[in-house]
Amino acid sequence: MNPESLEILAYPVGRFVSPASYDAVALGKWISVLEACPKWYDYSIENLDEAQLDTPYRPGGWTVAQVVHHVADSHINAYTRLKLALTETAPLIKPYDEKRWAELPDVQSVPVNVSVTLIHALHRRWVAALRGLEEKDWERTYVHPEGNRVFPLWEMTAMYAWHSRHHFEHIMKLRERMGW
Protein backbone atom coordinates (compact mmCIF):
# COMPACT_ATOMS: atom_id res chain seq x y z
CA MET A 1 0.00 0.00 0.00
CA ASN A 2 1.41 3.39 -0.93
CA PRO A 3 2.12 6.08 1.71
CA GLU A 4 -0.76 8.31 0.53
CA SER A 5 -3.27 5.49 0.97
CA LEU A 6 -1.91 4.70 4.43
CA GLU A 7 -2.19 8.39 5.38
CA ILE A 8 -5.86 8.44 4.31
CA LEU A 9 -6.56 5.25 6.30
CA ALA A 10 -4.77 6.67 9.35
CA TYR A 11 -6.33 10.15 9.10
CA PRO A 12 -9.68 9.86 7.30
CA VAL A 13 -10.72 13.39 8.34
CA GLY A 14 -7.18 14.78 8.03
CA ARG A 15 -4.70 15.51 10.79
CA PHE A 16 -5.76 17.82 13.59
CA VAL A 17 -4.95 21.44 12.84
CA SER A 18 -5.26 23.68 15.84
CA PRO A 19 -7.47 26.68 15.12
CA ALA A 20 -5.78 30.06 15.48
CA SER A 21 -8.71 31.41 17.48
CA TYR A 22 -12.25 30.65 18.56
CA ASP A 23 -15.62 32.29 18.98
CA ALA A 24 -19.02 31.31 20.34
CA VAL A 25 -20.02 29.72 17.02
CA ALA A 26 -16.90 27.52 16.90
CA LEU A 27 -17.34 26.52 20.54
CA GLY A 28 -20.97 25.60 19.86
CA LYS A 29 -19.96 23.38 16.93
CA TRP A 30 -17.25 21.60 18.90
CA ILE A 31 -19.54 21.01 21.86
CA SER A 32 -22.27 19.72 19.53
CA VAL A 33 -19.82 17.17 18.12
CA LEU A 34 -18.96 16.00 21.64
CA GLU A 35 -22.66 15.74 22.40
CA ALA A 36 -23.35 13.67 19.28
CA CYS A 37 -20.27 11.46 19.63
CA PRO A 38 -21.85 8.71 21.78
CA LYS A 39 -24.63 8.13 19.23
CA TRP A 40 -22.04 7.93 16.47
CA TYR A 41 -20.28 5.11 18.28
CA ASP A 42 -23.59 3.32 18.88
CA TYR A 43 -24.17 3.48 15.14
CA SER A 44 -20.60 2.58 14.18
CA ILE A 45 -20.65 -0.79 15.96
CA GLU A 46 -24.30 -1.66 15.35
CA ASN A 47 -24.71 -5.30 14.22
CA LEU A 48 -20.97 -6.02 14.15
CA ASP A 49 -20.03 -9.54 15.21
CA GLU A 50 -16.98 -10.59 17.21
CA ALA A 51 -14.84 -11.19 14.10
CA GLN A 52 -15.71 -7.75 12.74
CA LEU A 53 -14.95 -6.09 16.08
CA ASP A 54 -11.56 -7.84 16.01
CA THR A 55 -10.73 -6.46 12.54
CA PRO A 56 -8.08 -3.72 12.33
CA TYR A 57 -9.29 -0.53 10.67
CA ARG A 58 -6.01 -0.39 8.68
CA PRO A 59 -2.87 -2.51 8.30
CA GLY A 60 -0.99 -2.29 11.59
CA GLY A 61 -3.85 -0.37 13.21
CA TRP A 62 -6.11 -1.10 16.13
CA THR A 63 -9.14 -3.34 15.90
CA VAL A 64 -12.61 -1.80 15.95
CA ALA A 65 -12.95 -2.86 19.59
CA GLN A 66 -9.61 -1.29 20.50
CA VAL A 67 -10.65 1.96 18.79
CA VAL A 68 -13.87 2.17 20.82
CA HIS A 69 -12.12 1.33 24.09
CA HIS A 70 -9.43 3.91 23.21
CA VAL A 71 -12.04 6.64 22.70
CA ALA A 72 -13.41 5.92 26.19
CA ASP A 73 -9.91 5.95 27.70
CA SER A 74 -8.84 9.09 25.86
CA HIS A 75 -11.99 11.02 26.63
CA ILE A 76 -11.82 10.09 30.32
CA ASN A 77 -8.36 11.65 30.35
CA ALA A 78 -9.64 14.73 28.50
CA TYR A 79 -12.51 15.20 30.95
CA THR A 80 -10.09 14.88 33.86
CA ARG A 81 -7.79 17.46 32.25
CA LEU A 82 -10.74 19.83 31.88
CA LYS A 83 -11.61 19.47 35.56
CA LEU A 84 -7.98 19.99 36.59
CA ALA A 85 -7.69 23.12 34.44
CA LEU A 86 -10.88 24.50 35.96
CA THR A 87 -9.76 23.93 39.54
CA GLU A 88 -6.00 24.51 39.42
CA THR A 89 -3.72 27.08 37.82
CA ALA A 90 -2.12 25.63 34.66
CA PRO A 91 -1.76 22.09 36.08
CA LEU A 92 0.85 19.75 34.65
CA ILE A 93 -1.14 16.77 33.41
CA LYS A 94 -0.09 13.13 33.37
CA PRO A 95 0.22 11.67 29.88
CA TYR A 96 -0.47 7.99 29.25
CA ASP A 97 0.76 5.41 26.75
CA GLU A 98 -2.35 4.96 24.60
CA LYS A 99 -0.81 2.09 22.61
CA ARG A 100 -0.09 0.10 25.77
CA TRP A 101 -3.51 0.94 27.20
CA ALA A 102 -5.08 -0.53 24.03
CA GLU A 103 -3.35 -3.83 24.79
CA LEU A 104 -4.40 -4.17 28.44
CA PRO A 105 -6.60 -7.10 29.51
CA ASP A 106 -9.77 -5.05 29.93
CA VAL A 107 -9.67 -4.11 26.25
CA GLN A 108 -9.57 -7.81 25.37
CA SER A 109 -12.13 -9.04 27.89
CA VAL A 110 -14.74 -6.31 28.31
CA PRO A 111 -17.45 -6.09 25.64
CA VAL A 112 -17.19 -3.01 23.46
CA ASN A 113 -20.71 -1.88 24.38
CA VAL A 114 -19.47 -1.24 27.93
CA SER A 115 -17.11 1.44 26.59
CA VAL A 116 -19.90 2.89 24.45
CA THR A 117 -22.07 3.15 27.58
CA LEU A 118 -19.16 4.82 29.35
CA ILE A 119 -18.80 7.28 26.45
CA HIS A 120 -22.51 8.14 26.77
CA ALA A 121 -22.26 8.89 30.50
CA LEU A 122 -18.93 10.67 30.24
CA HIS A 123 -19.98 12.90 27.36
CA ARG A 124 -23.15 13.90 29.15
CA ARG A 125 -21.06 15.19 32.06
CA TRP A 126 -18.39 16.68 29.77
CA VAL A 127 -20.89 18.57 27.62
CA ALA A 128 -22.70 19.87 30.72
CA ALA A 129 -19.39 21.12 32.11
CA LEU A 130 -18.44 22.80 28.83
CA ARG A 131 -21.85 24.45 28.44
CA GLY A 132 -21.53 25.82 31.97
CA LEU A 133 -18.22 27.59 31.35
CA GLU A 134 -18.02 31.34 31.53
CA GLU A 135 -16.25 33.21 28.75
CA LYS A 136 -13.08 33.68 30.82
CA ASP A 137 -12.89 29.93 31.57
CA TRP A 138 -12.11 29.06 27.94
CA GLU A 139 -8.65 30.61 28.39
CA ARG A 140 -7.81 28.41 31.38
CA THR A 141 -5.00 26.00 30.56
CA TYR A 142 -3.22 22.80 31.40
CA VAL A 143 0.35 21.89 30.55
CA HIS A 144 1.25 18.73 28.68
CA PRO A 145 4.78 17.65 29.64
CA GLU A 146 5.63 16.46 26.12
CA GLY A 147 7.16 19.63 24.76
CA ASN A 148 5.88 21.59 27.78
CA ARG A 149 2.87 22.48 25.60
CA VAL A 150 0.18 24.72 27.07
CA PHE A 151 -3.39 23.87 26.04
CA PRO A 152 -6.22 26.35 26.58
CA LEU A 153 -9.61 24.72 27.13
CA TRP A 154 -11.00 26.07 23.87
CA GLU A 155 -8.22 24.33 21.92
CA MET A 156 -8.70 21.10 23.88
CA THR A 157 -12.40 21.19 22.98
CA ALA A 158 -11.57 21.62 19.28
CA MET A 159 -9.06 18.76 19.45
CA TYR A 160 -11.46 16.30 21.06
CA ALA A 161 -14.24 17.20 18.65
CA TRP A 162 -11.76 16.27 15.91
CA HIS A 163 -10.73 13.13 17.84
CA SER A 164 -14.36 12.01 18.08
CA ARG A 165 -14.82 12.25 14.30
CA HIS A 166 -11.35 10.84 13.58
CA HIS A 167 -11.99 7.49 15.24
CA PHE A 168 -15.64 7.29 14.21
CA GLU A 169 -14.50 7.58 10.59
CA HIS A 170 -11.89 4.85 11.12
CA ILE A 171 -14.73 2.45 11.87
CA MET A 172 -17.14 3.76 9.24
CA LYS A 173 -14.53 3.71 6.45
CA LEU A 174 -13.64 0.12 7.40
CA ARG A 175 -17.32 -0.84 7.29
CA GLU A 176 -17.61 0.78 3.87
CA ARG A 177 -14.50 -0.99 2.50
CA MET A 178 -15.64 -4.35 3.89
CA GLY A 179 -19.27 -3.97 2.83
CA TRP A 180 -20.56 -4.34 6.40
CATH of the domain at 138: 1.20.120.450
pLDDT of residue 44: 98
pLDDT of residue 29: 98
Nearest residue to 133 via CA among 17, 5, 30, 42: 30
Q: Does residue 76 lie in a domain region?
A: yes
Q: Does residue 16 lie in a domain region?
A: no
CA-to-CA distance for 23 and 109, rounded, in angstroms? 42
Mean model confidence pLDDT for the chain? 97
Q: Does residue 11 lie in a domain region?
A: no
Q: Does residue 77 lie in a domain region?
A: yes
pLDDT above 70: percentage of residues in the chain: 99
pLDDT, average across residues 12-23: 97
Q: Per-residue pLDDT for 160 more than 80?
A: yes
Q: Per-residue pLDDT for 2 more than 90?
A: no
pLDDT, average across residues 77-90: 98
At 4, the pLDDT band (50, 70, 90 cuts) reads confident
pLDDT of residue 64: 98
| Total number of domains constituting the chain | 1
Q: Give the distance, in angstroms, between the CA of residue 164 and the centroid of all CA atoms in the same chain.
A: 4
pLDDT, average across residues 85-108: 97
Q: Does residue 18 lie in a domain region?
A: no
Strand partners, 150: 143
pLDDT of residue 3: 78
Q: Does residue 15 lie in a domain region?
A: no
Q: Does residue 3 lie in a domain region?
A: no
CA-to-CA distance for 29 and 25, rounded, in angstroms? 6
Give the structural domain span for 119.
23-178
Kindly provide the b/e burial profile for residues 30-58, where b requires at least 16 CB atoms within 10 angstroms of the residue's own CB. Answer: bbebbbbbbebbeebbeebeeebbebebb
pLDDT digits (tens, 9 = 90+) for 165-179: 999 999 999 999 999
CA-to-CA distance for 103 and 94, rounded, in angstroms? 19
Nearest residue to 163 via CA among 105, 79, 85, 89: 79
Cα torsion 28, 30, 34, 37: sign: positive
Q: Does residue 63 lie in a domain region?
A: yes
